[in-house]
A = this chain, B = another copy of it.
Amino acid sequence: MAMIDEALQAFLNRLTRLSSLAAEEQAAILALADDGLVEPSSGDLVRPGQTVDHAILVAEGVLARYDLMRTGARQITAFHIPGDVSDLQSVVAPVTGWGVAALGPVRTVRLPHRALRRLATRYPAIALAFWRDTTLDASILAKGMANIGRKTSHGRLAHLFCEFGLRMERAGRGSRNVYPLPVTQEQLGDAVGLTGVHVNRTLRALRDEGLVSFSQQRVAISDWDRLAAAADFDSLYLLPDEPRVLLD
């Protein structure tokens, strides 16, 4: 129970970083919990093409949104860390092509669409906050697309490590320079459009250059500035910390 409240609080923090919400609105968010905590050890939470009636809030662990090719190849389009709601957009598009999988042991909280939609229609500020949250997600998608489309393996992985540094720091799960990242090299590859083998070689190179090391599912950035330069990283797309007044 405590963990559910903690997760909702993390989600609320995420929202209020970008949107200002009144006390009543904040209370309404914190009252969202539906079922208890779900704890699948691993595997699919949503299969591609499935219709869902709830969004998934991450309490612990890492989720991935992914797309499958007929060949079996997989592209991870988004990672979700504690405090993120994977598929918040499913509230307005309950059937889409992607799946959601746990990349390791995970704890999640189910947020029913009905409840989320009711909040969004009752409180305009919450509707805008949800919209804004989806927009941040889309911004990360666009950056990831540019990353894969126009950078070499070094730049792609370097960028991913910079991004997670900031996201983990925001989520209170480490510092931007040192943080846990419980995924395999192959999963990293699925996220940046490479094979596990090539990820391995690239990680070695990044380590040898003294930029960043990744082992035992832990990232340690040795030199943020040089890593950011190698990544062509500009944090603007993660949206700066300024809650804006939402109602005109």
Contact = CB atoms under 8 A, between A and B. Distances in A.
Interface stretch (A28-36, A101-109, A115-123, A199-207): A115-123
A69 interface: yes
A70 B131 CA distance: 30
Interface in A121-163: 121-122, 124-125, 127-128, 130-132, 134-139, 141-146, 148-151
A232 B73 CA distance: 11
Contacts of A148: 145, 148-149, 193
Interface stretch (A37-45, A92-100, A172-180, A208-216): A92-100
Nearest to A67: B146
A11 B70 CA distance: 34
Interface string A51-83: 000000000000001010111011101100000
Contact of A149 (B78, B130, B193): B193
Given A75-B145, A117-B247, 11 more contacts: A67-B143, A67-B145, A67-B146, A75-B149, A96-B139, A96-B237, A97-B237, A114-B248, A117-B246, A120-B127, A134-B138
The 7 closest A-B CB pairs, nearest first, are A149-B193, A75-B146, A138-B138, A67-B146, A121-B124, A92-B132, A127-B127
Interface of A: 49, 65, 67, 69-71, 73-75, 77-78, 89, 92-93, 95-98, 114, 117-118, 120-122, 124-125, 127-128, 130-132, 134-139, 141-146, 148-151, 192-193, 232, 234, 236-237, 239-240, 246-248
